[in-house]
C-alpha cells in the first residue's frame, strides 16, 4: 500500500508553494551536515531529515532494518533491502511527519538531531554506481542527430525501431549536482582538413536525460521479463550527459561513444522512487510500425509525465530557459529498456544507473541538446544579455529541473547544476 502518496496528507513541516518536495514525495539522498556527519536522508519542503537519527530514536520500530542501514555514504544497502521494505519506510516517514501525528512533532530534543535546513547541507553522490548504461530512446533526438551526422536518408538506423539502442558508459565519472566540469581536450577533425588536430572541444554540449536506478537483479544468465521489470526499478534522478560533439563525431565509428562522453555526467542528488511517481503514469508513444518483438511488448501506461527544463546561465548573468521537454516523449519505455538489457542474461545490481538518452520532443523548443537547439551550430540561440550561443562557453552554468504536476499534486526532482570550466 502506498499510503505515503495520499494527496490529502499535510505535513507539520512547512512546504513552500510549488515545492518539488511535499510530504507525498519522500525521496532518498545522502548528505553531509556539520562538515563531518554523513547520513542517508529525505526531504520535506526545505527541511532535510536524518534517517539514521530517526532510526536510532526508534521511529522505524516494527520495520525490519539493520541498525546501520542509514549510517552509510550511499543508499545501495538500503535499496538491497527490497522495494517492500523501502515502501514501509516511506509510509512510516509520511506517518511521522503527518500534521496529525505528534510523536516527533512535540519532541524538541529529537527534532534537534533529525531536522536540518537543506541550505546548511552538502549533498553527496547518493548511490555507488557499479555499472552505467546510456540508452538512446528518444525517436526525435535519434532522428535529429542522424540527420546531422549521416544525412536525412540514413537518419534512423535499421535497428532503431526494433530495439532500445544503448551502450555501456563510465560510471566513475558520474558526479553530483554542484561539481563543476572541465572542458575536455581531444582529437578533432576540422572541416575539410585531411588530418585531426589536438584541441579543447569547441562543441561542448549537454544532454537532457533522466536515469533510473535498479534494485538487485537476477543472477548472471537469467533474464528479467518485461512483465516483472517494474519490480526492479527503484527510483530516478535528472541526468546531464555532458558531450563534446567534435570529439564524438570523429571518434564514434565503429564502436560508438568514448572520450566525447566519458569525461563526466551530472545527476540531481535526490532519488525519487517509482512509488512516488505512480500517480504520474501516462501513455507511451504508439509502437505499431513496426510492432516490437514479443519480449519487448508492454502495456501502454508505462510512460511517466515528467516535465523537463534546461536553463543556461552565463557567468554573472541570469538564467535563460533554453529547452522544455517531457519524459513521456521517450519512444522506448523503462521496462522495455530493462527487459532488453537483461534478455541475453546480463546481470544487474542494486545501484546500477540507466540513462534514457537525450529526451527531445516534437518541436524545436523541445530539443534536449545544444547540437539540436542550434542545429549543429547553424542557428545560434539568443540570450537575455544579448549574447549568442551555438554550444556551451566557459563559465556557463547548465541547470536542469524536472517535476510532475497532475493538477492535484506536484512532486519533483529539484535540479542538477554545473558550470563548465576552461580546458586544462
Ligand atoms: Ca547520452
My answer on whether 104 and 227 are in the same domain is no
My answer on whether 110 and 159 are in the same domain is no
Residues noted as catalytic = 141
What is the rounded CA–CA span in Å between residue 235 and residue 178?
A: 21
Question: In CATH, what number is assigned to the domain containing residue 241?
Answer: 3.90.850.10
Residue 35 has pLDDT above 90, yes or no: no
Mean pLDDT score of the chain, rounded to an integer? Answer: 97
Q: What is the pLDDT of residue 224?
A: 98
Give the mean pLDDT of 175-191: 97
My answer on whether 189 and 329 are in the same domain is yes
End position of a domain, from candidates 124, 152, 181: 124
My answer on whether 169 and 116 are in the same domain is no
My answer on whether 90 and 145 are in the same domain is no
Q: What is the pLDDT of residue 285?
A: 97
Question: In CATH, what number is assigned to the domain containing residue 83?
Answer: 2.30.30.230
My answer on whether 158 and 187 are in the same domain is yes
My answer on whether 151 and 44 are in the same domain is no
Q: What protein residues have CB closer than 5 angstroms to ion ligand 1?
A: 134, 207, 241
| Ligand 1 centroid distance, CA of 161 (Å) | 18
My answer on whether 148 and 106 are in the same domain is no
Q: What is the pLDDT of residue 267?
A: 99
The confidence band for 19, taking pLDDT boundaries of 50, 70 and 90, is: very high
Q: What is the pLDDT of residue 284?
A: 98
| Ligand 1 centroid distance, CA of 7 (Å) | 34
| Ligand 1 centroid distance, CA of 256 (Å) | 11
Residue 150 has pLDDT above 90, yes or no: no
My answer on whether 103 and 148 are in the same domain is no
Q: What is the pLDDT of residue 20?
A: 98
Residue 7 has pLDDT above 90, yes or no: yes
Residue 149 has pLDDT above 90, yes or no: no
Domain that holds residue 194: 132-421
| Ligand 1 centroid distance, CA of 369 (Å) | 10
What is the rounded CA–CA span in Å between residue 112 and residue 159?
A: 57
For the chain, percent of residues with pLDDT exceeding 90: 98
My answer on whether 101 and 236 are in the same domain is no
| Ligand 1 centroid distance, CA of 355 (Å) | 7
Give the mean pLDDT of 242-257: 95
End position of a domain, from candidates 92, 124, 156: 124
| Ligand 1 centroid distance, CA of 413 (Å) | 19
End position of a domain, from candidates 124, 155, 177: 124
Q: What is the pLDDT of residue 34?
A: 87
My answer on whether 141 and 89 are in the same domain is no
Q: What is the pLDDT of residue 28?
A: 98
My answer on whether 267 and 383 are in the same domain is yes
Count structural domains, the chain. Answer: 2
Amino acid at each position: 500500500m502506498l499510503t505515503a502518496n495520499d494527496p490529502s496528507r499535510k505535513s507539520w513541516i512547512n512546504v513552500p508553494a510549488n515545492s518539488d518536495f511535499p510530504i507525498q514525495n519522500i525521496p532518498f539522498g545522502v548528505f553531509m551536515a556539520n562538515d563531518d556527519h554523513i547520513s542517508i536522508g529525505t526531504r520535506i519542503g526545505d527541511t532535510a531529515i536524518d534517517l539514521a537519527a530517526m532510526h536510532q530514536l526508534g521511529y522505524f520500530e516494527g520495520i525490519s532494518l539493520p541498525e546501520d542501514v542509514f549510517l552509510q555514504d550511499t543508499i545501495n544497502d538500503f535499496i538491497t533491502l527490497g522495494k517492500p521494505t523501502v515502501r514501509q519506510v516511506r509510509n512510516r516517514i509520511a506517518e511521522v511527519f503527518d500534521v496529525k501525528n505528534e510523536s516527533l512533532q512535540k519532541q524538541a530534543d529529537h527534532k534537534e538531531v533529525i531536522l536540518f535546513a537543506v541550505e546548511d547541507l552538502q549533498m553527496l553522490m547518493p548511490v555507488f554506481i557499479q555499472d552505467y548504461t546510456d540508452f538512446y530512446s528518444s525517436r526525435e533526438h535519434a532522428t535529429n542527430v542522424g540527420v546531422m551526422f549521416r544525412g536525412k536518408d540514413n537518419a534512423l538506423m535499421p535497428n532503431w525501431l526494433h530495439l532500445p539502442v544503448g551502450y555501456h558508459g563510465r560510471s566513475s565519472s558520474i558526479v553530483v549536482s554542484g561539481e563543476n566540469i572541465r572542458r575536455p581536450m581531444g582529437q578533432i577533425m576540422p572541416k575539410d582538413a585531411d588530418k585531426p588536430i589536438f584541441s579543447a572541444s569547441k562543441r561542448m554540449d549537454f544532454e537532457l536525460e533522466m536515469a533510473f536506478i535498479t534494485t538487485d537483479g537476477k543472477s548472471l544468465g537469467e533474464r528479467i521479463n518485461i512483465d516483472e521489470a517494474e519490480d526492479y526499478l527503484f527510483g530516478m534522478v535528472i541526468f546531464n550527459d555532458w558531450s563534446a560533439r567534435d570529439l564524438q563525431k570523429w571518434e564514434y565509428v565503429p564502436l560508438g561513444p568514448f572520450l566525447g562522453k566519458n569525461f563526466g555526467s551530472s545527476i540531481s542528488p535526490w532519488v525519487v522512487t517509482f512509488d512516488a511517481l505512480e500517480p504520474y503514469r501516462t501513455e507511451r508513444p504508439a509502437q505499431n510500425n513496426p510492432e516490437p518483438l514479443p519480449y519487448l511488448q508492454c502495456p501502454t501506461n508505462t510512460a511517466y509525465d515528467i516535465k523537463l527544463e534546461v536553463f543556461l546561465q552565463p557567468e554573472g548573468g541570469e538564467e535563460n530557459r533554453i529547452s522544455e521537454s517531457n519524459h513521456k516523449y521517450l519512444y522506448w519505455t523503462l521496462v522495455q529498456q530493462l527487459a532488453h538489457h537483461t534478455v541475453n542474461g546480463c546481470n544487474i545490481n542494486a545501484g546500477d544507473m540507466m540513462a534514457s538518452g537525450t529526451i527531445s520532443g516534437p518541436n524545436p523548443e523541445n530539443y534536449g541538446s545544444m547540437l539540436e537547439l542550434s542545429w549543429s551550430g547553424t542557428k545560434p540561440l539568443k540570450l537575455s544579455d544579448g549574447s549568442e550561443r551555438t554550444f556551451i562557453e566557459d563559465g556557463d552554468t547548465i541547470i536542469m529541473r524536472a517535476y510532475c504536476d497532475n493538477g492535484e499534486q506536484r512532486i519533483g526532482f529539484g535540479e542538477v547544476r554545473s558550470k563548465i570550466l576552461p580546458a586544462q
